[in-house]
Structure 1
Amino acid sequence: MTSVEDTSAKPSRLPHQTDEYLAENQGPGVATVCIVLASISTIFVLLRLFTRGKIMAKLHADDWLATLSVLFQWACVAFVILAIKAGNGRHFDTLSIDEREGTIFWTILGLPMGMLAFSIPKLGVAVLLTRIMNPTKQHRLAVWGLTSFCASTVVASIILIFAQCTPMRALWDLSVVDKKCIPGSVVVDFLIFSGSVSAFTDLYLALYPATVLFKLQLNIRKKIALSVALGIGSVATVIAIKKCTRLPALAEKDFTYKTSDLVLWVVGEGTTIIVASCIPLLQPLVDLIFGRRALNSSENNGYSRFPVSRLGRKKRDTELGLGTGKRGERHKVTSVDDLAEVGSQDTILRTLDYVKLADHHHDGKPGQDMSPSNRILRTDVVTITYDNKSEHGDMDGARDIRDPDASGNGTSWPKAEAVAL
């Protein structure tokens, strides 16, 4: 009669397994940190959706990508908790067969979710930068080429994780004997390559906006503030590098203990990118709460918050209130997205003209030229008539605006007219 092995039974205690060794468990701490990181991502995305959807009344593709990223991140956290419940975080040789299989199964499901959670926000950042920076063709190709290549390496990594063994069930089912598997070192090496691409992409997406902003004619305080807001994603580069250094432990026998913190770096990278992509878009919410421009130091940089800017445009997305140039020649950059209207990296320093203001600013004269040489000055002219004699104030360029139907006797009402110079 064949005996059936009890897969739920703990293995026999080995000489090196001291009480301290058996008690070691990193799982609870890992689960707590993952939940905190995912919660931070969720808070920032909710604030972003409120700002863009409620205050700005317009959602963009990058907002939905950020939302999708958070959903993948929570899926990753859920699988991490299930893996920890099965035994992840403890030493592999202390786990029963069931615990080992459960740990491997849930970890295999969790890692791809985390990888999608930090790769999708990169696409969202690419959408945002393309819209607000109005890059040249070369930079546009660089941004989209790099982010697309990064996403493709992540997808390839996920496919490799699930396809490394035939049948797939052999990945977690330790009872499968007849199987063919790719060496674990090959999988780890490709994951390191994918992680390196991710780190470089994070760095490029963080530095590119700074190079553009520092060429703008802005004061140094605003340049630094905007560069930091758009460049927080550079922190994700450090996290991605640290993650790559932890990947080789996946091929070790005691991977359940030695790589239990790997998921922290996976989730942490996603959180950093999500937060970095949200912060620059929350300025309208800050203004709504504090009633002032958080990045401005003078009243000249104020604006009418919602819904129309002083140039007659609808306010677009992030209100960062940048005023450049002299008072009489200033182009009001009232939002991050307004940077797109200033021009690309190659043309952003050109002289800015006031052109084609909104219809309601010109009494039904759309498209009126408002370049500095054709600006309109308002001149108030008061005409007082006594016995068919007019006394006019000495105003250069002023003309009699008396009512042509007036009789010429008595006093006409004061009138005002805009005179084009």
Structure 2
Amino acid sequence: MDQNVENPSESRVASLLAGSIVPHVISSIFVLARLYSRKFLSGSWGIDDTLITISWIGSIFIAVIQCLFVEFGGGHHQDVLASADIISMKKLGFANRLVFQFVICTTKLGICAFYLRIFHDKFSKWFIYILLAIIAALAIAMEFTIIFSCSPVSDVWSLGKKNCIPFAPSFIANTSCNIAIDLALMVYVIPKIIPLKIPRQQKIYIYTVVGMGFLVILAAIFRCVSILKYINSSDLSCKSPAHCSRLQWLTT
């Protein structure tokens, strides 16, 4: 047993579950309220609403995956877990990364589609279409990077010697690109909001989206730092910052 583990019976199950369930419930309330308003109050439904719905469904899968960590020992010290449970958690972590990347992509695509519905000038269309292409290309590249980061793929969750590319470079690059995209969206939209002649409720919603963009960036930085801090831990089942991806989804 690891000598650094002072209390082998220590459990972080409650905080792990809370960090997965609570943010999802809060975000679901806001998302469902928005979708209800769009469908039944305003009577309109756009591609942005469809993309946000897809993102929300994806977030359900993320919440389920992160709660399943507990089933295989998540929240407990790794030294007291069976090898089969550690492998199962590694498989769940692999699935979580794939779904999380998909959710981030569809959310950003939904925001871009929303701006396309609001802004119709030539520059806006070109700017947003370019961002759409970058977002899609980045997501596809990262999904393939995640899937084929190890050869064979099963090395991702194996406990023995691995043949994998380093995790940190691609993770940092992906985080940096996503932050740059969020900044580009904010820099683009802020000057356009003030003179915009649209219903007050819609303008407030746009301000809210832009304001949340700052939180998204802070959440992305926090997630990046936390994951890089713990990714090489020998006690990842107990110290895993699983709540980080929930935090970013909550502010997306």
* TM over 0.5, shorter chain: yes
The partner residue of 1:78 within 49, 64, 84 is 64
C-alpha distance in structure 1 between counterparts of 2:196 and 2:2, whole Å: 67
Matches for 1:21-420 after TM superposition, within 5 Å = 22-137=8-123, 139-174=124-159, 181-183=163-165, 186-215=166-195, 225=204, 228-231=207-210, 232-248=212-228, 249-258=230-239, 260-261=240-241, 263-273=242-252
- Stretches (4+) displaced over 4 A: 215-218, 224-227
How many correspondences in the alignment? 249
1:49-83 superposed Cα distances (whole Å, 9 cap, x missing partner): 22121122221111111110011111011111112
1:63-109 superposed Cα distances (whole Å, 9 cap, x missing partner): 11111001111101111111222123333333221221111111111
Contact 1:146-1:201 at 8 Å conserved across structures: yes
Contact 2:79-2:235 at 8 Å conserved across structures: yes
- Aligned CA distance change for structure 1 residues 94 and 37 (closer, same or farther; 3 Å): same
- Aligned CA distance change for structure 1 residues 191 and 133 (closer, same or farther; 3 Å): same
Q: CA shift at 1:121, angstroms?
A: 1.1
1:238-283 superposed Cα distances (whole Å, 9 cap, x missing partner): 111111212323234333333x22x32222222212xxxxxxxxxx
Contact 2:105-2:139 at 8 Å conserved across structures: yes
C-alpha distance in structure 1 between counterparts of 2:206 and 2:110, whole Å: 18
Output the amino acid matched with 2:189: P
1:324-377 superposed Cα distances (whole Å, 9 cap, x missing partner): xxxxxxxxxxxxxxxxxxxxxxxxxxxxxxxxxxxxxxxxxxxxxxxxxxxxxx
- Aligned CA distance change for structure 1 residues 118 and 217 (closer, same or farther; 3 Å): closer
Output the amino acid matched with 1:145: I
Greater relative contact order (Cα < 8 A, sep 6+): 2
- Aligned CA distance change for structure 1 residues 246 and 126 (closer, same or farther; 3 Å): same
C-alpha distance in structure 2 between counterparts of 1:97 and 1:203, whole Å: 43
C-alpha distance in structure 2 between counterparts of 1:116 and 1:94, whole Å: 33
C-alpha distance in structure 1 between counterparts of 2:197 and 2:100, whole Å: 40
Contact 2:47-2:110 at 8 Å conserved across structures: yes
Output the amino acid matched with 1:44: F
- Aligned CA distance change for structure 1 residues 197 and 62 (closer, same or farther; 3 Å): same
Report the TM-score when normalising by structure 1: 0.54
C-alpha distance in structure 2 between counterparts of 1:27 and 1:152, whole Å: 37
- Aligned CA distance change for structure 1 residues 252 and 161 (closer, same or farther; 3 Å): farther
> Secondary structure in 1 aligned to 2:251?
helix
- Aligned CA distance change for structure 1 residues 107 and 27 (closer, same or farther; 3 Å): farther
The CA RMSD over aligned residues, in Å, is 2.7
Contact 1:147-1:201 at 8 Å conserved across structures: no
- Aligned CA distance change for structure 1 residues 121 and 227 (closer, same or farther; 3 Å): closer
Gaps of 5+ in 2: none
Gaps of 5+ in 1: 1-12, 274-421
Output the amino acid matched with 2:146: I
C-alpha distance in structure 2 between counterparts of 1:228 and 1:89, whole Å: 38
> Secondary structure in 2 aligned to 1:25?
coil
> Secondary structure in 2 aligned to 1:253?
coil
1:183-208 superposed Cα distances (whole Å, 9 cap, x missing partner): 3xx22210111111112222332342
1:193-233 superposed Cα distances (whole Å, 9 cap, x missing partner): 11111122223323422211234589xx99x9566323122
Contact 1:75-1:113 at 8 Å conserved across structures: yes
